[in-house]
Every structure is written in C-alpha cells, then in structure tokens.
Amino acid sequence: MKNKEPILACIKLNKSFGPTHAVNDVSFTLNQGDIFGLVGENGAGKSTLIKIIGGECIPDSGNLFYKSSEVKWTKSFQALKNKIAIVHQEPLLVSSLSAMDNIFLGKEYTKGLFIDEEKILKKTRLLLRKYPIYPELILDEQVDKLSIDERVIIEILKALSYEPNILILDEPTASLPKKSSEILLKLLKDQSKEKNITFIYISHKLEEAIELCNKIMVMRNGKKIGILEKEEIDKNLLIKMMINQDLSQFYPKKSEKIGNTVLQVENLNTENLKNINIEVKAGEIVGLYGLLGAGMNEIALSIFGINDFKEGTLFVDGEKLHKVESLDMINKGVYLIPPDKHKFSLFDSFTLAENITIAHLYNIFPKFLISKNKENEVAEQQSAKFNIKYRNVNQLINELSGGNQQKIILARWLFKECNILILVDPTVGIDIGAKREIYNLLRNLTKSNKGVLIVSSEINEIVGISDKIYTMRRGEITAELKKDEITQENILKNIL
C-alpha cells in the first residue's frame, strides 16, 4: 500500500458491564488501507470494542485517536459523520421501507416538500453498479419481504453510501451466498488498495479472514491476546490463541464402538439425485460433503419427508417405511436441524423459553393449559444442559448470539429421546467456542448409541467430526470414506 499513515489508535480501552470486563486494557493502531481481522470466541469482547470505535458505546477509560486527534464519541452519528460506519451481523433496517429507502434513510433526496423516489432509485442503482455485490437485488421491494442475505447486502450498501474512511463489518458473509461473498471480499481488497479505505473485519470463518486480512488481532475474555502480521498468520496458531488449547483438542475423539444400522437409504432417486445409498449406524457421525448444489441438502430433506422422491426405500431401525412424512419421522425420534436457522427453525418474535418448548407443548402441557412457570423451568433445565448463555429465559431469541441460538435449536429437539439427528450446516456463522460445544454435543449423542448425519460446507469440519463420509458430485455419491481414508485430499479428489 502506498500510504501507511495511521488512521485509528485505541489506547488502553476498558469497558465493563457489571462484573463483566468486556474490553480489558486493549490497545492497537490501524493504518490507512489496512484490512484488520478481529477474531475470538463469543464473549471475547469483539462487539463491545467495535461499538466503542463506532460511537455506540462509551468506554469507562482509555483513549481513541482518529486521524491523529483524540475523539470522544457519545453517539454513533458522530462517528458516522466522521466517516466511520458499522455493518452489524443482524441487519438494523426499517422493515416497512424499501431497500433503497433504507439505504438513503436520513439522507433522502427531496423535490419540494416531497421525497424524490425517482432520484433515490437512480442513486441506489449507481451505488449498486459501483459495488456490484448483489446485482439482482430488488431495490423497491419492502425489506420485510426480502431474505436475510438480501438484508445484509442492504446494510453493507447503506454503510458504503457514506463513503467511509473506516468500515467495520461484523460477520458480513455469514448468511451470504458464496458468489456474493466472493464479490464482497474482492471489493474490500480493491477498495483497500485503490481508495485506502480501512476495514475492521470480524469473522468466524478463519480461512476467509486469513485470505483477506493483512493483520489479525485475537481477543479472549476481553483482552488482546496478540496481533499477527500477514506473514505470521497461521490457522492452527489462531485457534490456539483463541481457545488457549492445542488444535488437537478441538475436535472430540472419534467413535471406537459402532453399533447396528439405524438409518438405511436404498436407491433413492429424485429429479436431482441418482441412486443414493447411505447407511448410518448407532454410535457414528456420518458426513455428506460436496460442492454447492451437489445434492447433500436434498438428501437430508428427502429423508425427513420434506422433499418427495420418485423411488427408493428408507429403513429406520430396520423398519421399512412405505411413506416418508415429517411427523412420522419425529415420532420415530428422527429430527432435522435445517439450514438457515432464522428462516426454518427460530421464531424471532418468541422468547428463549418459547423457542425451546414450541415443538413439545403437548408433552409438557397435556391439558393444553400453558403454565409459564413450567415452561420457564423446562427452558432453564435445557439451557443449563446445553450451556446456553442468556440473561433471562423470557428475553427475545434475537437478543442472543448465533452460537446460543443454534444451541437452543438443539435443546428444542433433544428435549425428547432422539434416535437419529440430521443437521445441515449447524455451525455456519457461529464462533469457534460454540462450534466446539456443538461438536461435543454431537459426540455425546453417539456415545449414547445414537446416529448422526451431518451436511457441512466446511471441509475441515467434515474431516474433523465424521466417522464416515459420503462424497457427492452432481447428485450422485462418488465415494464412501472411512477412518484413515478421511483426508482433505481424498475428499477433493472425489468431489471435483
């Protein structure tokens, strides 16, 4: 980079919430054009730190210098006025407004006394042409009709519309399609080099952060553990710094005792799947892996009865099923945790307790009279069992972190006896500590003689957690890998 002038310096920043020291004596300096990665487990202090920088949170002590002058933000608009913008993980949009109106909210163009919608549309199209992250975005569509990934794109475009000197992004690719993610990452690199824009980039996708960032800071328990320059960055070292343990302890030990077959799929065929044969045994985790669109998700949805299939036979605990329906599968102890937790699993307007008990109301309240005390008791028991971190079981689900939300879905389905658990990308967008907890939960299921079928888009995860892997390409299974055969090289050879 041509210009390496410092643009931001944080000196001994501290912030506490009650007894929790969220940011503990943190200091670092950013130069113009840096892409600065910020990684750590949930609760490490990342969110509080970026809120201090963006004026959303006032530090208890410490100093913040921006362009060599000390600043004391008390409101976020002060930072925004000085061209420091934040894109939060959960979009902060007005659901009743359109995409373009959200992007230019607070800086609308007017014609006389009225808002000039035509000019706003024109300006938004120019913005989208300049930053083509998601060209197919419908600009005049009301936000509450858009998907979560489209809302994230709107938040990013809104931040870019301020032409920031520093742009802070919190998990921006967690819910984005692969193509949009790739375009965004290239855009950040280009803007860093060409416009000297500085980025602070929070991500749980370590490979993404390693590839993108020229330096990465690791936080743990509110403290800065260290900053690695580009040439020092190593994934194993990052994980060790984040969890304070060696990487060999990250994934639980694989199964030594495998039982009888609990799930058998024979000659499953759909429009996109060809002659699928898989077997899951008690005590094992079976992985499905392939490129996007290879058919893994469709297998999971077909087994659970969501997708119809033309032909094929399904056996659960040796029983041949003549018709596969979701309710029957649930009654047999076969549960599915689908992709996109906000769309398919969570009730965003419900509390933590309501989200846990929603699937079991008849079992908990057989007389159809819901007792709030009983519901809270069940939620507290499940939350303790799954190590869910929360303030109160009656707080809204969207107030919790992504990792805790995912554990709530597990707590919901594992409230009753489970024989087979099917999961699709269960750790997308959650921090490394929560991932480790979920891996341990899955391994504990196999120790209880249950079967687990997991679809994952992360090759490291599928290698680290699976006892057996089926690789896929274009709707077909290409290999079955066991034990020492489970390597990244063997997987890639069979999916490409």
Residues whose CB is less than 8 angstroms from the CB of residue 340 and which lie 6 or more positions away in sequence, other chains included: 148, 175
The strand pair at 223-229 and 69-71 is best described as unpaired
Which residues sit opposite 61 in a β-bridge? 14
pLDDT on residue 46:
92
- 27 with 53: CB under 8 angstroms? no
How many angstroms from the chain centroid is the CA of residue 481?
28
pLDDT on residue 368:
66
Phi and psi at residue 298, to the nearest 5°: -65, -35
- 396: DSSP letter: B
Residue type for position 475: G
Q: What distances in angstroms separate CA 491 from CA 468, 471, 487, one per listed residue?
A: 11, 7, 6
pLDDT on residue 248:
67
Which residues sit opposite 177 in a β-bridge? none
pLDDT on residue 86:
95
- 162: DSSP letter: T
Rounded CA-CA distance 103/100 in Å is 5
Tokens of 19: 């007894």
- 351: DSSP letter: B
> In whole numbers, what is the pLDDT of the chain averaged over residues?
89
How many angstroms from the chain centroid is the CA of residue 219?
19
pLDDT on residue 181:
86
Tokens of 459: 């090759």
| pLDDT (tens place) for every residue of the chain, 496 residues total | 445 789 999 999 999 988 889 999 999 999 999 999 999 887 789 989 999 999 999 999 999 999 999 999 999 999 999 999 999 877 788 888 998 999 988 888 888 888 888 898 899 999 888 888 888 888 888 988 887 778 888 999 999 999 999 999 998 887 777 788 888 899 999 999 998 999 999 988 888 999 999 999 999 989 999 999 999 998 889 988 988 876 667 889 999 899 999 999 999 999 899 999 999 999 999 999 998 889 999 999 999 998 888 889 999 999 998 788 888 898 899 999 888 776 777 888 889 999 998 887 777 776 667 778 888 888 898 888 888 888 889 988 877 877 788 888 888 888 888 899 999 998 876 777 778 888 999 999 999 999 999 999 888 899 999 999 999 999 999 999 999 999 989 999 999 8
User: What angle, rounded to 10 degrees, do the helices at 372-385 and 402-413 form?
Assistant: 110
Burial of 215 (0-12, 13-18, 19+ CB in 10 A): middle
The strand pair at 61-66 and 35-39 is best described as unpaired
pLDDT on residue 2:
47
Task: Report pLDDT digits (tens) over 371-385.
Answer: 788 888 888 988 888
Task: Report pLDDT digits (tens) over 294-327.
Answer: 999 999 999 999 888 888 999 999 999 878 888 8
DSSP H or E stretch at residue 378: helix 372-385
Q: Which of 331, 294, 333, 306 is nearest to 456 (CA)?
A: 294
- 127: DSSP letter: H
Tokens of 32: 């113009």
